[in-house]
Amino acid sequence: MTPASKEQFEEAIRSFQFDGTLRSAEPYGNGHINDTYLLVFEIGTMGIVKIILQRMNREVFTKPVELMENIMGVTSHLRRKIIAQGGDPERETLNVIPSRDQKPYYRDSAGEYWRAYRFITDATSFDRVERPEDFYESALAFGNFQRLLSDYPAATLHETIPGFHDTEARFRAFREAVKNDICGRAAGVQREIEFVLAHEDLTGVFNRLLEKKEIPLRVTHNDTKLNNIMIDNKTRKAICVIDLDTVMPGLAMNDFGDSIRFGASTAAEDEPDLNKVFCDMNLYEMYVKGFLEGCAGQLTQQEVLLLPFGAKVMTFECGIRFLTDYLEGDHYFRIHRENHNLDRCRTQFRLVENMEKKWDVMNELILKYHNVTVQS
């Protein structure tokens, strides 16, 4: 995405319902998709007020209007639920600031789309698990997200990235990449290719269950990493789920699984030394406990029992995506060194192998925290 010009940036600031005097405007955060800025205004007796301004990446999200329709529908629903249970909607969900023409976005003169949120004060997001309690809090928050949206009509949401967690489609793309071998890399990764082929049976299980209506379609976040949870600086309690760009119809098992893939690993996603890569059962247990507590009985028994499978499928799917990108010349995931995507795919496959070794334990821990308060 080409950087926004100074003129575009200033046009965007003028086009939202911001009051007061702008004191500063700086790039914010370390996200790789959208351009994010922190604006600081001084507003009369209110004092300093902070705003998040973002330019949406249309290369990734090709239908920004539909994306914002999703966000407005979900956040409005969350706001009503939070108020009804006596919570603070200013801090417990994202609050979109409308443009001056009363839309939840602004389309600038260059055709780029911008949006603005109120900044959530006195809270922090963490890129890595610094304390196990924070991972538990993230589980509680994502489970609560499921609970609050359990009565939202998931089928009415737009697919912001079509087929995002269609593991069968990811597998077909992988086979095509192997067949075409446009970079001549397939010969050097035969072990990884064989691993994927040997696990093909993982790819279609959820699609079949969904087709037979044995599992429900739900509102899912689809990027359930720790850094998409705001944690209160004083209480260290999770207060808000953020980054709702990929909220769309999906499966609860996938949201659970992606959290385990990322947060319960003992190593970084791109760790070259596979001897350091394990699925930490202590962190896994902590997440299971928090997620099921947060869901508070809103998942069906089938969904709960399939949570470990969700962890394995999401980890496998992510490994497929990294390997496919490596075979195709590293055009999707940003790389910072030679074989970066290959290292990433290997960590995911090692995690899958480790999960398989611990499969009985993973399922036993689900049963340990599987309260009878599940949907029939």
Q: Where are the domains of the chain?
A: 6-121, 132-369
Q: How many alpha carbons fall within 13 Å on the CB side of residue 364?
A: 7
Nearest Cα residue to 264 out of 132, 142, 126, 125: 132
pLDDT score at 376 = 47
| Residue environment code for 122-160, b if the CB has 16+ CB neighbours within 10 A, otherwise e | ebebbeebeeeebbbbbbbbbbbbbbbbbebebeebbeb
Q: How many alpha carbons fall within 13 Å on the CB side of residue 303?
A: 27
Length of the chain: 376
CATH class for the region spanning 6-121: alpha beta
pLDDT score at 129 = 83
pLDDT score at 371 = 65
Per-residue pLDDT of the chain (376 residues; tens, 9 = 90+): 788 889 999 999 999 988 889 999 999 987 778 999 999 999 877 789 999 999 999 988 999 999 999 999 999 999 999 999 999 999 999 999 999 999 999 999 999 999 999 999 999 998 888 889 999 999 999 999 999 999 999 999 999 998 899 999 999 999 999 999 999 999 999 999 999 999 999 999 999 999 999 999 999 999 999 999 999 999 999 999 999 999 999 999 999 999 999 999 999 999 999 999 999 999 999 999 999 999 999 999 999 999 999 999 999 999 999 999 999 999 888 889 999 999 999 999 999 999 999 999 999 999 999 864 455 4
Helices (H), the chain: 6-14, 64-84, 89-92, 132-148, 167-180, 190-198, 205-211, 252-263, 281-295, 301-305, 307-327, 340-357, 359-369
- Contact of 278 with 361, CB cutoff 8 Å: no
pLDDT score at 54 = 97
| Burial of residue 39 (number of CB atoms within 10 Å: 0-12, 13-18, 19+) | buried
- Contact of 223 with 242, CB cutoff 8 Å: no
Annotation: CATH topology of 132-369: Aminoglycoside 3'-phosphotransferase; Chain: A, domain 2 (3.90.1200)
Gap between the Cα atoms of 88 and 85, Å rounded: 9
- Contact of 344 with 320, CB cutoff 8 Å: no
pLDDT score at 372 = 43
